[in-house]
C-alpha cells in the first residue's frame, strides 16, 4: 500500500466499518467463563466501567498537563512547540502523553482501578504489574492514524509472556473519530515483523482487512486486548475529539525478551523480508 495515500484513502482502504464488536454492558457481566472468548478473539470490550466523574477527572488531569504543568509527564508533539501560538494549536499538536501515573493521583487511580486489575489478573492468571501508561489523543479534523500493529512489537512491551492492553475511551470513540479496530483472532498468528513506514507498523499489504472488526466505545468504556492482537485506529476526520488512556500490564513472572530474540520475531533484520 503506497505511503502517499491520502488520509481518506487510508481510512477507506485499510479499515472497514460494517462489522461492530460485541460488547458487555458492565464489568460484572464478565466472569472467568468469558476467558475462552478472549482467548479466541484476542479482546473483550465493556461499555460502562469508569464513572463520569472518573472520566472527567482524568480528562482534566491531561488537559492540565498540556496547558498548565506537565508534572514531569512527557508530551509528544507533531509540530515544533515554538510554532504553537494558541491553546487550540497546542492541543491539536499533542499526539501522546506518557509517564504520568506517579505524578497525578487521578490518573493513578485509573491505572490501578480495582475492577480493571481484577479482570487483568483473571486474563493473565497471575498478579499484574503496570509496564506502560499513555494517553492517545486524536484532535478534530485530522487526528492521525495509528497504523495496524502489535503492541508487543514495541521494545518496551516485548516480554516472554503475553501482555494485556487496556484501552479506555475518555471521549466517545466512534466510527468517524478514530475508534479502535482489530483483526479478529489475529493474536493466534504470533509475532509478525514490523516496518518503519508511516509508523512502526505491520505491512499494509499483509492486513486482512476482511477480518477487521470496529470497537466503538462510550465514554468510560474500555477494551482488554492481547499484546499480539493486530489493531489500529484510522484518522479522525470528524469535528470531535477522541482522547483515550492506554495501559499495559504484564504478569509478575514475565521478563523482557533479549534483543536478539526481539529482532528475530518482530523485525525483518534476521530474514531480510521486504514489505
Domain ranges for the chain: 7-49+114-129+137-266
Ordered per-residue pLDDT tens for the chain, 275 residues: 445 889 999 999 999 999 999 999 999 999 988 889 999 999 999 999 999 999 999 999 999 999 999 999 999 999 999 999 999 999 999 999 999 999 999 999 999 999 999 999 999 999 999 999 999 999 999 899 999 999 999 999 999 999 999 999 999 999 999 999 999 999 999 999 999 999 999 999 999 999 999 999 999 999 999 999 999 999 999 999 999 999 999 999 999 999 999 999 999 887 777 88
d(CA 145, CA 181): 11
Give pLDDT, residue 1.
46
Give pLDDT, residue 268.
86
Q: Kindly report whether the global pTM for this prediction surpasses the value 0.85.
A: yes
Percent of the chain with pLDDT over 70: 99
Q: The C-alpha cell of 139 is what?
A: 484532535
Q: The C-alpha cell of 81 is what?
A: 512547540
**7-49+114-129+137-266 sits in which CATH class?**
mainly beta
Q: Is 264 exposed, middle or buried (0-12, 13-18, 19+ CB in 10 A)?
A: middle
Query: What φ, ψ does residue 68 adopt, rounded to 5°?
Result: -115, -65
Place of cell 495501559: 247
Amino acid at each position: 500500500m503506497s505511503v502517499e495515500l491520502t488520509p481518506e484513502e487510508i481510512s477507506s482502504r485499510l479499515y472497514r466499518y460494517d462489522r461492530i464488536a460485541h460488547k458487555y454492558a458492565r464489568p460484572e457481566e464478565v466472569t472467568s467463563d468469558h476467558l475462552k472468548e478472549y482467548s479466541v478473539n484476542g479482546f473483550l470490550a465493556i461499555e460502562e466501567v469508569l464513572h463520569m466523574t472518573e472520566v472527567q477527572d482524568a480528562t482534566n488531569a491531561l488537559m492540565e498537563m498540556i496547558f498548565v504543568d506537565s508534572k514531569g509527564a512527557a508530551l509528544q508533539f507533531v509540530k515544533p512547540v515554538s510554532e504553537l501560538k494558541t491553546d487550540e494549536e497546542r492541543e491539536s499538536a499533542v499526539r501522546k502523553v506518557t509517564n504520568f501515573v506517579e505524578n497525578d493521583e487521578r490518573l493513578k487511580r485509573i491505572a490501578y482501578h480495582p475492577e480493571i486489575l481484577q479482570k487483568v489478573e483473571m486474563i493473565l492468571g497471575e498478579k499484574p504489574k503496570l509496564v506502560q501508561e499513555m494517553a492517545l489523543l486524536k484532535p478534530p479534523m485530522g487526528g492521525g492514524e495509528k497504523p495496524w500493529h502489535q503492541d508487543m512489537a514495541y521494545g518496551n512491551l516485548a516480554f516472554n509472556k503475553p501482555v494485556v492492553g487496556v484501552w479506555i475511551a475518555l471521549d466517545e470513540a466512534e466510527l468517524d473519530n478514530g475508534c479502535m479496530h482489530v483483526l479478529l483472532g489475529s493474536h493466534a498468528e504470533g509475532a509478525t515483523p514490523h516496518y518503519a513506514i508511516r509508523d512502526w507498523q505491520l505491512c499494509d499489504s499483509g492486513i486482512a482487512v476482511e477480518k477487521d472488526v470496529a470497537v466503538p466505545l462510550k465514554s468510560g468504556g474500555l477494551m482488554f486486548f492481547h499484546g499480539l492482537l493486530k489493531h489500529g485506529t484510522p484518522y479522525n476526520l470528524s469535528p470531535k475529539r477522541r482522547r483515550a488512556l492506554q495501559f499495559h500490564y504484564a504478569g509478575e513472572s514475565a521478563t523482557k525478551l533479549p534483543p536478539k530474540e526481539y529482532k528475530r520475531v518482530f523485525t525483518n533484520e534476521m530474514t531480510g523480508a521486504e514489505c
